[in-house]
Chain A
Amino acid sequence: MTAPAIAYNFAYLDEQTKRMIRRAILKGIAVPGYQVPFASREMPMPYGWGTGGVQVTAACLVPEDRLKVIDQGADDTTNAVSIRRFFQRTAGVAVTEATADATVIQTRHRIPETPLTEGQILVYQVPIPEPLRFLEPRETETRKMHELEEYGLMHVKLYEDIARHGQIATAYAYPVRVEGRYVMDPSPIPKFDNPKLTANPAIQLFGAGREQRIYALPPYAEVVSLDFEDHPFQATKAAHDCDLCGAKVSYLDEVITDDAGGRMFVCSDTDFCAGRRARGLIGRLGGDQKSSKTFANSFQGIWPGTEGAP
């Protein structure tokens, strides 16, 4: 193979930039939950597509790494595919869809169902790192609130939820307190995933490209979801089993299958779902060996799937 016309540095970013990002990451790990400012670079993708996560991943990657990229739990959606291909091209690292095989996992809005292990790095893409932002628009003021540990306002948001909906209706980006100090936005993961944040053996890194912030959770950090004594935190999911693999414990996507009220629930973690199906665990509608997306798309009236309608 001939050399490409433009020779990129390993993993796209130049070494000085990676050093700068690594310094921010180290500081973030040293002060769990604290938002470290960093000089976010322009990346060859739009803001909102994971520019923060991509920069953190680029700073962490070594040639021996095996990378997994997921978007809402799925390995095969646009965002995941484009980022995976970006690093295949610029870093030449091996890629995988299996959570257990990956050394670095970049994720958007989910934590994989398969428990992570020591030595793995989970990189989150973060749109808005400041958990207090929608309650207090002034950055100077929110910084002061973090500095002085004035987090009463966070509970005002939860109070409003209960007053309005009778329960804590915040379903994603559910605020957490890290090691009894900083209140942190865990990125828009469903609150179902919040219990996986705490005491996790993997390193968890959060990158916000547009907002130019990096924060981190070291392995086994204590992460507590905020709540009220009489309205304790509850990790919720749809009250169904996966229709493809029959899993009862995984987070589910609801897929509309026709315009007559038909719907199905499938694991949002495609690797977890496919792994179960490979082991012969089949759900209500999972007879054919198809991926969840192909299956959903194959219903009439949506899109004639390549594998044919059932």
Chain B
Amino acid sequence: MTAMERIAMTDQPLLRVDGLTKRYGPRIGCLDVSFDLYPGEVLGIVGESGSGKSTLLSCLAGHLQPDLGRVAYDGRDVLAMSETERRRLGRTDWAYVHQNPRDGLRMGVSAGGNVGERLMAIGARHYGEIRDKAQDWLARVEIAADRIDDRPSAFSGGMQQRLQIARNLVTAPRLVFMDEPTGGLDVSVQARLLDLLRGLVRDLGLSVIIVTHDLAVVRLLAHRLMVMKSGRVVEQGLTDQVLDDPQHAYSQLLVSSVLQV
């Protein structure tokens, strides 16, 4: 593809998923999932445990090899890429925020080192610049500057999750995968994190795919929503539309199951 064609494609979706299927033996992980994600768009995926949303996310991020289907990122076929290319993409243009910050952080390395790792992985070799950038990002996720040399094990759960987000966003990715980023946090910390995420997504123009079972999270963050059940997408549309006027029986059940305080 030439540079001209690439520029002409700016109105094209950033990520194009077509007929993605993953089976675990006879069991279905996810079945025939198709959607487009445009630059700056936040897509929420909701569904109960075991509905295939995490499988779908892993397939998209290249952690799992799907059985069928196509994933195109920025016009490039992700599944046909060499592993070197895919891992490079995973360090630069993409980011993956794990549910448990311990999966996404190096617990034995200081906060500054955690943020700097992605920079060093793509060739940064100037200590002062790496440190300045780490300091800047810690400030953006509201971690005090004097904690830069502390290890994540000395951080609270909410701080660890914010640190993980900083570590992922430092290389200015265009597409962020989030797997239950607010899971396991108490409600006030959750609210603060969501506020932060919403600001970052807006300021940086990120495209995000966020998997969660918490409808409040998608209500706040997501523009569009996909509801999954037993590996299939049963309903998709604008978030408010799906949540206010669910069409599929399962979506209705899901929305009505939310506890009202």
Contact = CB atoms under 8 A, between A and B. Distances in A.
Contacts of A135: 106, 109
A159 B127 contact: yes
Contact of A164 (B106, B118, B127, B149): B149
A228 interface: yes
A159 B126 contact: no
A159 B113 contact: yes
B126 A153 contact: no
B110 A160 contact: yes
Interface of A: 135, 148, 150, 152-153, 155-156, 159-160, 162-164, 227-231
Interface residues of B, number: 23
Nearest to B111: A163
Interface string B112-135: 110011101111011110110000
Interface in B94-113: 106, 109-110, 112-113
A156 B127 contact: no
B104 to A, nearest CB: 15
A163 to B, nearest CB: 5
B255 to A, nearest CB: 42
B112 A148 contact: no
Contact of B127 (A150, A152, A153, A230): A230
B83 interface: yes
B6 interface: no
Contacts of B120: 152-153, 155-156, 159
Given A159-B112, A163-B113, A150 B125 contact: no
Given A150-B121, A156-B120, A159-B127, 16 more contacts: A135-B109, A148-B83, A148-B87, A152-B117, A153-B120, A155-B120, A159-B112, A159-B113, A159-B116, A159-B120, A160-B109, A163-B131, A163-B149, A228-B125, A229-B127, A230-B127
Given A228-B127, A229-B125, A230-B127, A156 B109 contact: yes
